[in-house]
Structures are given as C-alpha cells and as structure tokens.
Amino acid sequence: MTKEKTTIPQHVTIIMDGNGRWAKLRGQERLFGHKEGVESVRACTEFAVEKGIKYLSVFAFSEENWERPAEEIEGLMQLMLKAIAMETPLFQKNGIRFRVIGDFSRLSQKLRNEIDECMKLTETNTGLQLIVFLSYSGKWDIVQAANKVVEEKMRKGEQPTITAEEIDSNLSTSDIPHPDLLIRTSGEQRISNYMLWQTAYTEYYFTEVLWPDFRKMEFQQALDAYSKRERRFGKV
C-alpha cells in the first residue's frame, strides 16, 4: 500500500494549553507544568525544522493571563527569561530566527532586554522563524492596526476610512504569512482571542493531549489530519 504524502503547511501556530492540569494530575504546582511545556516547545521546534515548516508560532501568554495569580505570572516570566537565554545559542547554531510579538509595555525591562538581544542576534537567520506571542490579544492587534491607519490618514489630511488590506498590512504580523494550521491542545475548542484576523481561513486541529505531552508524534498526527483537508478559501 502506498503511504499517503503529508502536506507541509508553511505556517503552523499552536495554542499551548493544559500545563496546569498536567501538573495537577501529578500533584505538582502549575509552574511544574509550564517548565515541562518548555520541553514541548523545544521538541516541536526541532520537528518543524525537520519537516521544513517555515514559520512556527506559539501562544505563550495572553493579555487575559495577566489576571492570574501574581506568583504564577512571576514564575512564568522568569521561565521565559531563562528559556530565551538558554536557547539563543541553539537558535544561532540551527539558523532559527526568534521573534516575540505582543504588548511589551507590561513586561519587565530585564525580559524586554533579553528578548531584544535574542531577536537582534537571530534577525538575519534564514531558517525556521519561531514566533512567540507574549502579552498578546487578537483584539489589541486589530485595534492598534486600525489606529495606525487612522493616524497616518489624518496626518496626510485624508478621510479616515479603513480597508481590509490596510488593516492586514498594519497588524503586528504584517510580514508573516497567515497560519495554515492552528493546533490547540488539552481538549478546549476555542481560539481565546488569538490572531482573530489572521486565522479567518486557517485550518483548526483540536487534540485532547495536554501541552507537556505534545511532542513529535502528536505534531505528526496534526500534520496528517491537515493533509486530508481541502482548503478552498470560500471558493468552489
């Protein structure tokens, strides 16, 4: 029997969900799950490189997540800081371009500095682009894009009418292709205010697997499911 060929999407994005539940099932604090989740990011990044995926983005921390307990937020930010510092040499070695998108105004200066340094060091890398959405909201992204368009038109003395193309070109992801495939782990079937504009024609894949258990085999299953989809973008 001939094995079906897997279609490789250009951009895969992942809503990483289930870290807290994974830790609770093991009698551990939520941060234990977040730490194990970092290993899943590493595994999925390696897999994306192996498969020739050009863009891998992950939803690390939403604008709504700022409402979580302060202790958990601090632990998450420290984890992010350590992970970036540790992974930067590997990004360089493997030609990975690292990017962070979101509202940086609520991040600590130390974390912003670490992010800026890693992005600057890897900005000329031509391999996989690994994009982390941090302190991000889909609604925030659309609003900031609309404000940019209006401000520019007012500066030029033009009528502040807005087109879909103008919104698209002013989003924080304006130079990144819209996702082909969105994966959400842990069984939840919603996108939680994530890339609302950009995922209008994205294929969704929901899995019961908790994020710390989502590794290469689970990623391959998502790609296999994607390969069976027919993307028509509203056409016949």
> Which residue type occupies 67?
E
Instruction: Verify whether residue 141 is a known catalytic residue.
Output: no
Residue 115, token pair as written in the block: 């992010």
Q: Which two tokens stand for residue 78?
A: 């420290």
Q: How far is CA 201 from CA 8, 174, 217, in A?
A: 17, 16, 25
Which residue pairs from 118-121 have beta carbons closer than 8 angstroms and sit at least 24 positions apart in sequence? 118/84, 118/87, 118/88, 118/91, 121/88, 121/91, 121/92
Active-site option among 65, 94, 125, 193: 65
**Set 17, 19, 141, 170: catalytic member:** 17
The burial of 102, by beta-carbon neighbours within 10 Å (0-12 exposed, 13-18 middle, 19 or more buried), is given as buried
Specify whether the CB–CB gap between 17 and 188 falls below 8 A: yes
In 110-171 the beta strands, taken as DSSP E runs, fall at: 129-136
Helix (H, G, I), strand (E, B) or coil at 193: coil
* Nearest CA among 98, 140, 135, 104 for reference residue 120: 98
Is 94 part of the annotated catalytic residue set?
A: no
What residues are labeled active site?
17, 65
